[in-house]
Structure 1
Amino acid sequence: MAGRTEGREWPGALDLAALRASGWRPTPFRQFILKIHSRCNLACDYCYVYEMADQRWREQPRRMDADVVDATARRIGRHVRAHRLDEIEVVLHGGEPLLAGPELIRHAVTAVRNEVGTAARVRIGVQTNGVLLDEPFLRLFDELDVRVSVSLDGDRRGHDRHRRHADGRGSHAQTAANLHRLASGPYRRLFAGLLATVDLANPPVETYEALLEFRPPAVDFLLPHGNWENPPPGRDPDTDDAPYGDWLTAVFDRWAGAPRGETRVRLFREIIGLSLGRPSGSEMVGLSPAAMVVVETDGTIEQVDTLKSAYEGATATGLHVGRDGFDAALALPSTAARQIGLEALPATCRACAVGTLCGGGLYAHRYRAGSGFRNPSVYCRDLFRLVSHIRDAVARDVARTKRARTRSEPMRPELKRLTIPEKVFLGLAQGGGGAYAVDELWRVQRSKRLLLLRWVREAARSRDPAREARARQAYALLADVQGRAPDEVRAVLDHPTVGVWAHAVADGDADTDPITALAAAAAIRARDPRPVEVVGGPDGLYLPTLGTVERFAGTGLVRAAPDAPVTIASDAGTVILPDDLHRDAPGWRGLRGLEAEYHGMALHLLLDDCDPLRAAGGDPSPRLTPAEAEHWRATLRRAWRLLVRWHWTVAEESARTLRVLTPIAPPPQGMRSSTVHEAFGAVYASPPPDERDLAVTFAHEVQHAKLGALNDAIPLTRPDDGSRYYAPWRDDPRPAAGLLTGAYAHLGVAGFWRRQRHHEQGAAALRAHTEFARWRDASALVSGILARSGRLTAEGERLVAEMDRTLRAWRREPVPSAALDQARAIANEHRERWRARHGEPGGAARRA
């Protein structure tokens, strides 16, 4: 079948050999669409699957078997590792995917994540019509961290015109009721956005505003599928009219004039980015290669399923996950045709003023019998109208900005603030964010540390010439090693106490010489043979990520030749490092590892009990004995199993955030933990009583770390004016910044116990319910105090409003009366004790 369809898809032979000889290589698949159910519970009259040219769905099994799921997951894992992908997306699709049932969905999500493991970040989403999106499904998606996109075409009249049940009943009421549950309750973090098919009969601005009722984080406006053989409704290819372009332009003008953050409209943002010279991230516009592949319910590998609108067999490849890998699909001419960009376009598109922005439109919309897909889009005039309008609007904005800058001369120098994508901000504001958000925060932290490192180099000038020379030499070596072994330099600079030291240098409280240890650590990790001059301190020579040389005096040399042991020589003698740098040797204390893995999710930490700067997080423990270190490992494995089973997002964020666990001295009873703003990536903790305490510590401290890193990019509170407030988790009055970070951390604690209470029995269940009630109420109280304080920036107000929205929904969830009474008694006792020390807490500010 694959051979039969190739000629219709691409007139003449597509010469892959010539393409490869010219330097072109296929782009690996990054989006995997799994058709887990082939039927639908609605009968939408515009559906390309059931109502258009390709009717092979009738031959498909209704439901994907578990064996097919497993084979698909294995193929995805191999594709990820073969191409060293760092991130993929898996979309559960149909038909209506929720018809597959919760058990198959759970199996599919778990199987893919297990097969990919830690090789790449796996983002999983589901696209549904929303009719079956009830509370049990939302709980399942919350547990599995599955993002939900819902199809909604506007208000009731506009939606029900096409999206009906087989008996003619509209579906808007059911979809809207479930959407409200998704959009306004504790599941909002799962809400990926709305998909709306454009209908010319629906007023554009009213339709857009009807979608805004659900506060979607994003809206995708989709053009009805059609082509030159079967034009879409209201589109006459023989006229110059552009009805769809006019419709979308009206929505764009309304969207562009709204306050920032109302919602993201992907089509508009893509065209804006293209107008500014950025690559596209969507196949709707632009020339970026398509990188998605479909697996049908029977396991056949197919091209993107929108091609079903062209002709029967347009998506066929002749491949099956049971016998073929995804690289076989990459080798097909039909895949190449969707990845070669400008070369796939006809001469009319290449000569068009907006051809590289439009990119010929969606591939499926270009089909014409006899010439295949090498045609302009059937929406050519509509796309020209919309793209030209947005391009011109962007040009006007750029010109206004330049004029404003010219008039404002002389300009004061300003520190350019790092940015956070809107969807990341919203995910973090709702208490989560996942791996994607943490990766953005690491991007911010790495930029900040590089700036601080440059400051260290410059600060060395104000010391003596010898220090300046050492700092410049070390900085140059780091830069050189980074060019050849970037991962090794990144690991060193990511080490948490590097941030502590660099901040101290910037504040004038630390020496610049430890930069030599950074260069030495990078050279050792990369096995760079050049000798590195290093300077130790009273505690020896600490090499970030590796360990400490105990016998060290003055200055010394580190040699790390690839074919010889690493040696570190100083006036105190020469220390030879072991092959495994994390083991001890005479004169050497290695940083030991803590590792845990469960169901393909792994956590890798360094157990730091020798860094001189580890005291920043509390009273540090002395060097642990082997038995004490093994106790930490055992407890961590149990805690990690608990997190991965019941708190996937916490586990994912912990694995992405944390690099180091630093043991600190225990309190008289219980456990204590902390994070340090400058030491992003570290958690400081005393030995936990059990795995639950360690698991909730991760939920708590990762929240602290996330908020601190977010605040580096987006200030959330105004400068401290001395105002102090009541915090239900502290005995001392807190400034607004401290109050906010505490509220955000305890939002994470409440979320942990909210999930954990469903997996406990007896006294443990009572404790979990009590903790949930206590911390949701405490965080809600503080959110109100912060909202009234006047000490938040505009972005801080947005963050607190999102937090409060989540907490209000949680406070409506039932809690056993015994747990509720216990939580209230603890809260009242704390408030009375605080009042006795500091006066009436109320919520009013008091001056320090």
Structure 2
Amino acid sequence: MTVKARAFRQFVLKVHSRCDLACDHCYIYEHADQSWARRPRVISDATVRATASRIAEHARAHPELPRVHVILHGGEPLLAGRERLARIASTLRSALDGVCDLDLRMQTNGLRLDEEFCAMLVRERISTGISLDGDRTANDRHRKRSNGAGSYDAVVRAVRLIGSPPYRPSFAGLLCTVDVQNDPLAVYEALTALEPPRVDFLLPHATWDRPPERDPGLGTVPYAQWLTTVYDRWTADGRPFPVRLFDSLEQGREGRESFTEALGLGSPDLVVVETDGEIEQADWLKTVEQGAPSTGFDVRRHSFDRAAAHPGFLARRTGLGGLSEKCRGCDVVRVCGGGLYGHRWSSGKGPGDGFDNPSVYCDDLFALISHVLEAPRPEPIARPHTLSASGFDSLAAGRNDDEALRALVAAEFSARRLLVGAVCGRYPGPEAEALTELDRRQPQEVAEVLRHPYLGAWAIRSLEGHLEPAAVRLRLGEIATAAALAAGTDLRLELPPGTTTVHLPALGRLILPGCVEPVALGTRRKALLLAFGDHRPPLPVAGATGRGFRWEPARRIIAGEFRFLLEDGDPYRDGFTTEPSPMLDEEEFHHWQRLFGEAGRHLGDRYDRHAPGIRALLTACTPLRGEKAGGFCTANPLAFGAFGLAPPENSARLAELIVEGVQQVKFNALLDLFDLADGDEARESLRSAYLDRAHRAVPPDHGLTAYGRRMAAVLRG
């Protein structure tokens, strides 16, 4: 069987190879592979630069990677020091600027976290997870210092610090290794009390050569019993935070891809770079034998594409066919996926040799998955979208708290999804059926398409009866087609007679010739196809240009680290204070791109604290008609994420207008969540006063820092 290499999406960067704890369950120091002892203690700047360059090279070679995830790891990464970690973050962002987005994360024991460290994590946008095994008894059973003292107090102090309002944007969650000797409910309650944004439970690493401890008094499937106890309590509590293990099991129940490589049949996409630059497979393979993760490659001499073709990576990309005979015949194999690859290893003590075994946790996994599959599916808990008091205070003070921004985005997306769902109900037909079916099977891809700002304005006009039914159904078909393309799903929809233009949200528009023959739009394996007249089989869009069809891809503009969709073609891009401009020609587009590129430098130099808001809230920019000294910017309240712009003559003013755009989008979202004034007239007056006074009150060099004063005045009022 030929196995294709897959692009890496996750890059684990080992920044320090030593640790200030001596955990007896650590897979790096306590298991078979001891290569840590020969590696440099800390990664060099040269190795970081080489790694960043290789990641950028890999992303350029794989345009299907809009984002890569880099996890700073160890040993203990905090031992690398605050300044070095900040340099690593800067090096990675510089290398990936204009190539793809960077999701930068770190996993730490938290012992060295202090306020200066936490401030750096927020500033450098490093989402940080902390390892904590539960209450004092549970945590200090294994997570000890070299002198045998427990680490619980220091870790909890770190969790409370990073979870406090100033630093919570960088708090990714808690990682807990399961020990069946610990009380599962005591562990759950200790973690819950710290209000984590998410939690993950890990089975301790083990193989058939070195199996997990089994206490006969705890039954035959103690890990399943421990986890099902937590699962049931978590469900009864209304699921107060995501749990990656449980969410992955339920993803598998729905036939969707797991969130963890420890479950499911998804193809692994993770690679490790050690402190000396060596490229390795997943580091949990250190539990298998000396040298098990090794590939023989390093970032100075080899690309990640070359590493991806290593037999070790390819062996885990064979899906169901790569599992043991017992696994292939199992009823829950598509959820389990054989368990973590390293947990299948045996040098002769298991059912088979090598990795041709079920997981050493097979019985536990089967019992846990069966429990989840048989459990009643919880009814969705309808919680109104709102902001926490600290989130509201953060926005009122002019800060861009990540959690508050996420709350605004989630509220607006929920509203848009409900609106589009209502349109599907109001205008039934093959287009609505296709979209609702895609939403059931491929919710993530549909969600990404629905983030297009102008779908909100279109949905409201559709529900108010301002559009012809044929136009509404065409738009539903366009949304479904864009989602099917993203998901790689086959789809075919007949276009309404007389259709001259098809707009796929955020992708582009298709111009049709003036013909009377029926035309069908289709997708197959992420290709857009056309079927018309008696032409069989369907043609790719590029192959239909000779018949008068023309594809115009959507364009994006870059302002430093920020990217916006240049939305100058969508038919529903109106609702601003002035009319949208016609589509920009190439010369005009390049002028916009140059201006935005220069504005990116001003955003980085002068408006750095507004970066989280720009990144979270602004999605699309629409050129507007009208001339006004210094240009102007305006937001459509019905098109969350979009701002209209008549450009100024210089980039410094454009940077200021971009900041103004994010403030308007933020204010519109707040007005959707809270009645900050009585009546539409009062609301509009409040908005005008907020914007006008912000400009008058603040020197140009400071942007819209008056936002905090205006919001504070609103709250006092």
TM-score range, shorter chain: 0.7 to 0.9
| Offset, 1:372 | 1.4
Question: Which one of the candidate residues 68, 78, 81 is aligned to 1:88?
Answer: 68
Match of 1:679 in 2: 639
Structure 2 Cα separation of the partners of residues 614 and 111 of structure 1: 37
1:382 aligns with 2:364: yes
Cα offset for 1:777? Answer: 3.3
Question: Using the alignment, how far apart are the partners of 2:513 and 2:631 within structure 1?
Answer: 45
Please tell me the residue identity of whatever aligns with 1:520: T
1:771 to 703, 706, 716: 706
* Match in the other structure for 2:404: 431
Amino acid at match of 2:206: G
Partner of 1:372: 354
* Other structure's SS at 1:617 match: coil
CA RMSD of aligned residues (A): 5.0
Q: Are the aligned partners of 1:130 and 1:150 in contact in 2 as well (CA < 8 Å)?
A: yes
Pairwise CA distance, 1:772: 6.6
Alignment of 1:351-370 (within 5 A): 351-370=329-348
What SS does structure 2 have at the residue aligned with 1:228?
coil
> Which of residues 500, 513, 521 in structure 2 aligns to 1:530?
513
Structure 2: how far apart are the matches of 1:703 and 1:768?
15
* TM superposition shift of 1:693: 3.3
User: Which amino acid is the alignment partner of residue 31 of structure 1?
Assistant: Q
**DSSP 3-state at the match of 2:104:** strand
Residue of structure 1 in register with 2:190 after alignment: 210
Report whether the alignment pairs 1:694 with 2:653.
no
Match of 1:270 in 2: 248
% of aligned pairs identical?
A: 36
In the TM superposition, residue 77 of structure 1 has moved relative to its aligned partner by: 2.0
In the alignment, the residues of structure 2 paired with residue 120 and residue 504 of structure 1 have an alpha-carbon distance, to the nearest angstrom, of 35
Aligned to 1:658: 620
Q: Residues 196 and 220 of structure 1 are in contact (CA less than 8 Å); yes or no, is this contact kept in structure 2?
A: yes
Q: In the alignment, which residue of structure 2 is the partner of 1:391?
A: 373
Q: 1:285: which partner in 2?
A: 263
Map of 2:113 onto structure 1: 133
The aligned amino acid for 2:620 is L
Aligned to 1:616: 575
Tell me, what secondary structure is at the counterpart of 1:433? helix
1:190-269 alignment, distance < 5 Å: 190-234=170-214, 241-260=220-239, 262-269=240-247
Report the more deviating stretch, 637-646 or 120-129. 637-646
Checking the alignment, whether the CA contact within 8 Å between 1:643 and 1:651 is kept in structure 2 is: no
Deviation at 1:218, TM superposition (A): 1.3
CA distance in structure 2 between the aligned counterparts of 1:176 and 1:625, rounded to whole angstroms: 55
Task: Provide Cα deviations, 1:494-529, integer angstroms capped at 9, x if missing partner.
Answer: 986676466445424466898899843659966766
Check conservation: 1:418, 1:444, Cα contact below 8 A: no
In the alignment, residue 643 of structure 2 is paired with which amino acid? V
The equivalent of 2:286 in structure 1 is: 308
Alignment check: 8 A CA contact 2:457 2:572 kept:
yes
**CA displacement at 1:318 relative to structure 2:** 0.6
| Rounded Cα–Cα distance in structure 2 between residues aligned with 1:223 and 1:250 | 15
SS at match of 1:33: strand
1:148 lines up with 2:128 in the alignment: yes
Which aligned pairs between 1:435-834 and structure 2 lie closer than 5 A?
500=457, 503-504=460-461, 506-509=463-466, 519-520=500-501, 530-531=513-514, 562=545, 595-598=557-560, 601-603=562-564, 605=566, 616-619=575-578, 636-637=596-597, 639-644=599-604, 646=608, 647-653=610-616, 657-662=619-624, 673-684=633-644, 690=653, 693-704=656-667, 726=677, 733-734=682-683, 771=706, 774-775=709-710, 777-778=712-713, 781=715
Structure 2 unaligned regions, length at least 5? 392-399, 433-446, 475-496, 517-542
Question: Are the aligned partners of 1:37 and 1:63 in contact in 2 as well (CA < 8 Å)?
Answer: yes
Aligned to 1:816: none
CA shift digits 1:783-832 (9 cap, x unpaired): xxxxxxxxxxxxxxxxxxxxxxxxxxxxxxxxxxxxxxxxxxxxxxxx7x
Please tell me whether the aligned partners of residues 114 and 601 of structure 1 are also in contact (alpha carbons under 8 angstroms): no
Cα distance in structure 1, aligned partners of 2:27 and 2:384: 39
| Deviation of 1:612 (Å) | 10
Post-superposition shift, 1:595? 4.1
- What are the Cα deviations for residues 247-296 of structure 1, in whole angstroms up to 9, with x where unaligned? 11211111121124x01111112112222332323122222222111111
Higher-Rg structure is: 1
Give, in angstroms, the shift of residue 80 of structure 1: 2.2
* C-alpha distance 492-330 of structure 1, shift in aligned 2 (>3 A): closer
Structure 1 residue 190 displacement after superposition? 2.4
* Gap change, CA 1:257 and 1:492, over 3 Å in 2: closer
Contact 1:284 1:362 in 2 (8 A): yes
User: Does the C-alpha gap of structure 1 residues 68 and 213 become closer, same or farther in structure 2, counting only changes over 3 Å?
Assistant: same
Change in Cα spacing, 1:519 to 1:323, as seen in structure 2 (3 Å) is farther
Partner of 2:706, secondary structure, is helix
TM-aligned CA distance change 1:706 to 1:290, over 3 Å: farther
The verdict on how the C-alpha distance between 1:431 and 1:597 changes in structure 2, with shifts beyond 3 A counting, is same
Equivalent position amino acid for 1:433 in 2: R
Deviation at 1:384, TM superposition (A): 2.3
C-alpha contact 2:268 2:316 (8 A) present in aligned 1 = yes
Secondary structure at the counterpart of residue 294 of structure 1: strand
User: Are the aligned partners of 1:158 and 1:202 in contact in 2 as well (CA < 8 Å)?
Assistant: yes
Deviation of 1:306 (Å): 0.6
Structure 1 gap segments, 5+ residues each: 1-18, 402-416, 459-471, 476-489, 534-559, 568-578, 583-590, 718-723, 751-761, 782-830, 832-840, 842-848
Is contact 2:635–2:642 with CA below 8 Å preserved after alignment? yes
Match of 1:54 in 2: 33
- Answer whether contact 1:219 1:263 (CA < 8 A) is retained: yes
Is the 8 Å Cα contact of residues 638 and 691 (structure 1) preserved in structure 2?
no
Structure 1 residues 300 and 705, CA, compared in 2 at 3 Å: closer, same or farther? farther
The SS at the match of 2:317 is coil
CA–CA separation in structure 2 for the residues paired with 1:216 and 1:65:
33
Deviates more, 1:699-708 or 1:348-357: 699-708
Distance 1:332 1:685, change over 3 A: closer
Distance 1:386 1:506 in 2: 45
Cα deviation, residue 93, structure 1: 0.7
Give the superposition deviation at 1:185.
1.1
**Does the Cα contact within 8 Å between 2:617 and 2:641 map onto a contact in 1?**
no
The match for 2:319 is 341
Corresponding residue for residue 153 of structure 2: 173
**Whole-angstrom distance in 1 between the partners of 2:24 and 2:638:** 57
Aligned to 1:182: 162
Paired amino acid for 1:177 = R
Residue correspondences, number: 623
Counterpart code for 1:697: E
Matching residue's letter, 2:197: P
Q: 1:105 aligns with which of 67, 82, 85?
A: 85
- Find the aligned partners of 2:584 and 2:101 in 1 and give their Cα distance: 35
Q: Deviations over 1:21-42 (max 9, x none)?
A: xxx4333221111111111122
Letter in 2 for 1:662: L
Q: Does 1:124 align with 2:83?
A: no
Cα distance in 2, alignment partners of residues 73 and 266 from structure 1: 28
The 8 Å contact of residues 252 and 335 in structure 2, kept in 1 or not, is answered as yes
TM-score normalized by the length of structure 1? 0.62
Is residue 339–residue 359 contact of structure 2 (8 Å, CA) maintained in 1? yes
SS at match of 2:575: helix
Query: 1:675, 1:704 within 8 Å by CA — same for their partners in 2?
Result: no
SS at match of 1:45: coil
Deviations 1:467-487 (A, max 9, x none): xxxxx9x99xxxxxxxxxxxx
Which has the larger displacement, 76-85 or 679-688? Answer: 679-688
